[in-house]
Structure 1
């Protein structure tokens, strides 16, 4: 780097650009902090000063949206779209008197029998983080779960009831989900 380039990137010039916001309660500096609910501005004098405020209004869903014309099956009051720690759900407006709630999404059926209990069916579900997985609909009796898309084809080596479709560096492959079995083959499309 030449001497002219060093002058372009001096520390004191960038320090002047950064402005700090002060705490309305104690006058100290505010800084960005992170929590489960998302980023927020918090006072640097914490725990002496407990001032904080959210960075964006999108992370807070304060008002429940009442669903006009809906009726709670338990108490016949209106239902509302609410936001909980695991996402959106539909709940009764008379909470905590009435505890009725239903999820907004239902698991998708795959039509593939559970290879472990052989009486249930694998359902496509979504975790609270948005990751898709497949589990038996007989839960909690059967706790079978896989992270890759199941294919209704028996493993030719160990005779397990399904194979899973997995993307690898070699392309898509069908793999046996049993760890003791090492069967895999390329998926023909």
Structure 2
């Protein structure tokens, strides 16, 4: 049975029915603003302590920790590319989603929730993030048979609409 892929508006730090949430991390894996700040605040100081020995990470890379105070089993931390600076940005962004899915599969996690990696402070155009993210997930899922659900959790109605429209579109090529 193929994995269910869905796009919802919500808070990435409040996904109790999901095994692993993905953090839009910075290279140092430190608390910050946006997704990283929300996840670190909800998880508690243990998350930052668990991240220290794993840092720094490079764009496209994914690492995993426990979730601590979050309602999930784990957190996968991905460093997305900064648009216009990290090259090749589309390949690095796709690597984030692919590496996170493969890491979830290796750890026996059946459900994963992603934010729109690189779309916030890193300046990546949202429509491109949606296209690359959804195409990469569709391309990678056949190699991850243990994953039953992929959820994209978007912060606002506009972002949710862009992801939902892209999800139903036939053009999701990389």
On whether the aligned pair clears a TM of 0.5, the verdict is no
TM-score, normalization by structure 1: 0.19
TM-score, normalization by structure 2: 0.21
Q: Which structure is richer in relative contact order (CA contacts within 8 A, separation 6 or more)?
A: 2
Greater fraction helix: 2
Greater fraction strand: 1
Greater radius of gyration (CA): 1
